[in-house]
A and B are shown apart, each in its own frame.
Chain A
Amino acid sequence: MAVIEAERVAVEARPWWRRAWENLRSASGALLFMSPATLLVVVFFFIPVVLIIGISMTNMSTATGFQNWKWVYLENYRRILKHPNTLQVLRNTLMYVALTLAFFNVGMALVIALITTHIPRRAGLLYRALWLLPRLTPSVVYVMMWKYMAADAPYGIINRHILQPLGLATTNLLPIYPWVFVILVNGFIGASFGMVIFTSAIESIPREYLMAALVDGCTPWQRIRHVILPLIRWPLLFVTTYQTLSLLTSFEQILLLTEGQFGTMVWSLWAYERALSNYWGNFQWGFGAALATVLVLIGIVMAVVYMRYFQFEALIQEPKIETL
C-alpha cells in the first residue's frame, strides 16, 4: 500500500507540463491518424468560423473598406437584438425549417421510402427516380417552373388549367400563399435526400425481422411502427439533424423565388442580403457576420437537442476494434 501511495505522490509531484507531454506521447498514434481530418476541419471550418466571429465584432462594411474599420465588439449583436425585423425573421426561419422538415425532408422522405419498399422493387425504383428530378434540375430552371405554376392567367399553369376552367377568380398565387410555395419548392428538392437514406436503411433490415413481425401478428402498419421505425432510428436522427442544419443555412430557392418578399425573409437570406447583396450597395460585413454567427449558434443548439431527444449515446455501439 505504502509503495502505491508513494508512486501516486511521485506522479503528482511531476510538473504539469511533463504530464501533459507524456499524455500527448501516448496518444501520438491516434493523433497521427486523426490529423488529415483535423487539418481539413481546422482549415475549412474552424478558421472561417473564428474569422467570421472576429469580423462580427467590427463595423467592417463597404463604407469602411478593409482599412478603416474599427472594433465595435458586441455592438452588432446589440443591433440584432434591437432590430425591428429580428423577431419576424426568426419566426419565419423556424416556421420554414420546421414545416419543410416535417412535411418533406423527413416526413415525405419517410413516406416515399416506406411506400417504395412495400411495392414491387422495379416500381419502387422508378418512383424514387422521379423524386430525384427536382434535385437534378438546375435551381434557376426549377424555380422558374414554380413561378410559372403560380403565375396569373393566361401564363400560370394552376390559374389557366385548374382555376379558370372551374370558373374561379385568377390571380398570381405567389404573393397570396408565399409560404406554401417556399415550402413546396424546398421540400420537393429536400425530400430525395432522406428518401435515399431511409430506403437503404429499410432495405438493409434483415428480412427475418420483417417476416417474424408478420408471423407475430403485425399488420403492415404495426410492422412499420413497432419494428421498422425503431430499427431506422439512427438514420432518422441523422437526416433530421443534417436537414435542419442545411435548411437553416439555405436561402438559394427563396432568393430565386421571392427574394424575401411577401414576408418570406429567413435568417440566412437576411445575412446574405446584409453582407453581400443589398439594394443600396453598402455591404455590412460586420453586421452580416454577426447574423451568421447567431445562425451557427442556433444550429449547434438544435443538434445537441436532437442528440438528447434521440438518445444518441444509446445508438452508438462501443467499437469492437482494439484501441491504438
Chain B
Amino acid sequence: MEVHLEHLTKRWGKVVAVDDLNLEIRSGEFVALLGPSGCGKTTTLLMIAGIYKPTSGYIRFDGRVVNKVPPKDRNVGMVFQSYALYPHMTVYENLTFPLKLKKVPEEEQRRKARRIAEMMGIGHLLDRYPAQLSGGQQQRVALGRALIKEPALLLFDEPLSNLDARLRLTMRAEIKRLQMELGITSIYVTHDQVEAMTLADRIAVMREGRLQAFATPEELYERPRTLFVAGFIGNPPMNFTQVEVIQQDGQYLAVNPDMRLAVDPDRGSRAAGRGRVIMGIRPEHITLARDGEPAHLEAEVYLVEPLGRDDLINARVGKETHLHFLADPALKLRIGDRVRLRVDTSRVQFFDPETEQSLLWS
C-alpha cells in the first residue's frame, strides 16, 4: 500500500508536534522515521494509525484520504515499544484478538494462529500469559498479533528499545527478514540511527516536528544535506570544525588557527570565499599515517575510549580543534602520544554555519 502524507500538521494547543510534513512512501517499502525524542515521529505514526487526528493536511492510503477513517478500518498492524500485550489474555487470545473482532470463524482463527506462532517461534507459549514471558518472547507475540490480520501497512513504534543489546540484534534481523518475505509496507519509528540504517530502504530524519531529509541510508551518509543530518547519521558521529577555505597555489586549503588541510578541489571550491564555514569529517575517514607516508595533520592523543574492536581516539590538533577517529587497539595509543593523521579529503563535508545547509548538496 502506498502512503502519502501531504502537509501533515499536528498541534497540541500552541505546541506544534508535527509541522507540514510531506512524505511519499512506496508500496512494499520499509521507511524509518528517525529523530531524537520529541521530534514528532511517534505523533506522525499515531496519525497514520488513526489514533490521533491531524490538525491539517492529508494522509492518503493508495490515493484515498483516510484522515477520518477509524483505526479499525485502516487495515494496519502495529507493534509498540512496551509490546502492549493484554495482560488478562493468554498468548493465543492476544494473537487471535484482531480476528475475533472481525468475527473470523474459530477454525480459521486456530489455523492462522498456528501458522503465525510457528513463523514467530512461539508455538509452545500459546497458553501462557504475557507476564510469564521474557521481553523477546513478548515482542514476538506482539509482532504476531500485528501480522495475523494480514495488514496492508505495518507500524513499529520503537519496538526494540526495551530489549537487551543482544536480543535487539536478533530481533532486528528477524524484522528485516519478515518484512522482506511478506513485502508489507512498513513504517518504523526509532531514535537509533543504526537501527534505521540497517532496516530501512529510506530514512525520514525528523527534528522538532519538521522533516530534515528523506533519502536512502547511503545518501544520508554520503550526501547529508543539513548539519543536523550529518551529525545524527553515522556512528561515531561526524567531527565538525570551523574553518575558512582559501585558494592558494591551485590548491584549496581548509584553514583555522590550528591547522591547514588541503581538500579535494571539487568540494573545496564550493566552500571557498564564503568566510567561516563548518567542515565535517567522519571518524572513519581519518587514519593514522604509516611510516614514510605523508601526513595531513599532526595531533596529540587527548583521550582513548576502547570500543573492543577499535579504540575511539579523541586527538587534539593545535590548541583547540578536536578530531575523533578509530584506531587499531594493537597500536596501544596512550594519552599524550603524538600521531600523524591522514584524511580522506574527497569525503569531507561543508556547511553554512548560519543556515546549517550543506554547501555541497542541495
Residues in chain A within 8 A of chain B (CB atoms): 206, 208-209, 211-219, 222, 226-227, 230-231, 233
CB nearest neighbor in A for B146: A215
How far is A41 from B86 in the complex, measured between Cα atoms in Å?
A: 38
**Cβ B82 vs Cβ A215 within 8 A:** no
* Minimum distance in angstroms from B199 CB to a CB of chain A: 21
Q: Which residues of B contact A218 (CB under 8 A)?
A: 72, 101
**Cβ A206 vs Cβ B82 within 8 A:** yes
Q: Name 20 extra pairs, CB < 8 A, besides A208-B80, A211-B78, A215-B49.
A: A208-B82, A211-B46, A211-B51, A211-B80, A211-B84, A212-B80, A212-B84, A212-B86, A214-B50, A214-B51, A215-B76, A216-B72, A216-B101, A217-B71, A217-B149, A218-B72, A219-B70, A222-B101, A226-B86, A226-B97
CB nearest neighbor in A for B145: A216
Which among A206, A216, A231, A233 is the interface contact of B98 at CB below 8 angstroms?
A: A216
Tell me which of A212, A214, A222, A233 has the highest count of chain B C-beta atoms within 10 A of its own C-beta.
A212
How far is A95 from B87 in the complex, measured between Cα atoms in Å?
A: 36
How far is A213 from B97 in the complex, measured between Cα atoms in Å?
A: 9
Contact residues, B64-108 vs A (CB, 8 A): 70-72, 76-78, 80-82, 84, 86-88, 97-98, 101-102
Which among A206, A219, A222 is the interface contact of B84 at CB below 8 angstroms?
A: A206
**Cβ B86 vs Cβ A227 within 8 A:** yes
How far is A123 from B184 in the complex, measured between Cα atoms in Å?
A: 41
How far is A212 from B98 in the complex, measured between Cα atoms in Å?
A: 10
* Minimum distance in angstroms from A226 CB to a CB of chain B: 7
Minimum-distance CB pairs A-B, first 5: A212-B84, A208-B84, A217-B101, A214-B71, A217-B72
Tell me which of A214, A227, A233 has the highest count of chain B C-beta atoms within 10 A of its own C-beta.
A214
Tell me which of A211, A217, A227, A231 has the highest count of chain B C-beta atoms within 10 A of its own C-beta.
A217
Q: Which residues of A contact B88 (CB under 8 A)?
A: 230-231, 233
CB nearest neighbor in A for B149: A217
A-B contact pairs, 10 of them (CB 8 A): A206-B84, A211-B80, A214-B72, A215-B76, A216-B145, A217-B101, A218-B72, A218-B101, A219-B72, A230-B88
> Beta-carbon contacts of B291-304 to A below 8 Å, as 1s and 0s?
00000000000000
Tell me which of B51, B77, B84, B102 has the highest count of chain A C-beta atoms within 10 A of its own C-beta.
B84
Q: Which residues of A contact B51 (CB under 8 A)?
A: 211, 214-215
Contact residues, B144-167 vs A (CB, 8 A): 145, 149, 155
Q: Which residues of A contact B87 (CB under 8 A)?
A: 231
How far is A212 from B71 in the complex, measured between Cα atoms in Å?
A: 10
Q: Which residues of B contact A231 (CB under 8 A)?
A: 86-88
Q: Which residues of B contact A222 (CB under 8 A)?
A: 101
**Cβ A211 vs Cβ B145 within 8 A:** no
How far is A218 from B149 in the complex, measured between Cα atoms in Å?
A: 13
* In the complex with contacts A214-B51, A217-B72, A219-B72, A209-B86 CB distance below 8 A: yes
* In the complex with contacts A217-B72, A217-B102, A231-B88, A211-B49 CB distance below 8 A: yes
How far is A14 from B77 in the complex, measured between Cα atoms in Å?
A: 67
CB nearest neighbor in A for B151: A215
How far is A231 from B87 in the complex, measured between Cα atoms in Å?
A: 8
* Minimum distance in angstroms from B260 CB to a CB of chain A: 55
Q: Which residues of B contact A211 (CB under 8 A)?
A: 46, 49, 51, 78, 80, 84
How far is A233 from B145 in the complex, measured between Cα atoms in Å?
A: 24
* Minimum distance in angstroms from B11 CB to a CB of chain A: 15
Q: Which residues of B contact A212 (CB under 8 A)?
A: 78, 80, 84, 86
CB nearest neighbor in A for B101: A217
Q: Which residues of B contact A227 (CB under 8 A)?
A: 86
How far is A209 from B51 in the complex, measured between Cα atoms in Å?
A: 12
**Cβ A215 vs Cβ B102 within 8 A:** no
